[in-house]
Amino acid sequence: MGQFTDRVVVITGGGSGVGKATAALFLREGAQVVIAGRDAAKLAAAAQELQGGDALLFLPTDVTDPQQCRRLIDRATADFGRVDILVNNAGANIKARTCRELTPEVWDMMIRTNLHGAFYCTQAVLPQMLARRDGLIINVVSVAGKRANPLGGAAYVAAKFGMGAFGLVLANEEKDSGIRVSNIYPGEIDTPILEHRPKPVTPEQRAVILKPEDVAQTILFVASLPPRVSIPELIIKPTVQPYW
């Protein structure tokens, strides 16, 4: 019996990186887990690797589509009875990320993926959490949502600032409703998103930055606290990464 036995967790961006690592930890702790992502093949491969059996459901989902987000929550609820924890982890970035390079179409895609998706999934799950007066929403933001460093690019940074603000407002709105909202702001992580950096990341740099498991452990820690405890914001970064 794990500490999350009989708890149901939905994780977006669950096909790789932080999402997959988070799913593995929750499964190990007895939770029923739903992973979602745009790439059906990658999601299926992740599910096979996780070996969650009947405790794991994977559902291809494009979080930029509110109807697909609602279908995700509805399916998780139909299969497992409810959703106790939502981890808004889906995100994306592109190589041509400077203001000079951005187009309206790319800007729109970045905002929809990194910001709108969190809102759509939250909006879909909130009614049942309010009805139970219990629920936890964890937003995996980024230090780019705290510090407007050009490294992340204007669209990504704008979306992540918005995601962080959304989480803080929701937490304050629902502080008396039994709903907790936590924003986690990771620094550099060794995940597939690094492949979209304008300059390739060296093996030496990958060796010293965060691993997906580090952020997953942080998510698990936040989720393990009793209902009377809320962490509005938590920053985790590699020791070698400056923060100012």
Residues acting as catalytic residues: 156
Residue 106 in tokens: 């790319």
**Rounded-to-integer distance, Cα 220 and Cα 56, Å:** 17
How many other C-beta atoms are found inside a 10 Å radius of the C-beta of residue 153? 25
Pairwise CA distance, residues 11 & 212, whole Å: 14
Structure tokens at 165: 């603000």
Radius of gyration of the chain (CA): 17
Beta-bridged to residue 24, according to DSSP, are none
Per the CB < 8 A criterion, the answer to whether 92 and 114 are in contact is yes
d(C-alpha 237, C-alpha 142), whole Å: 10
* Residues whose CB falls within 8 Å of the CB of residue 52, separated by 6 or more in sequence, listed in order: 23, 27, 33
Indicate the pairing of strand 135-140 with strand 179-186: parallel
Q: Strand, coil or helix: what is 72?
A: helix
The answer to whether 26 touches 83, Cβ cutoff 8 Å, is: no
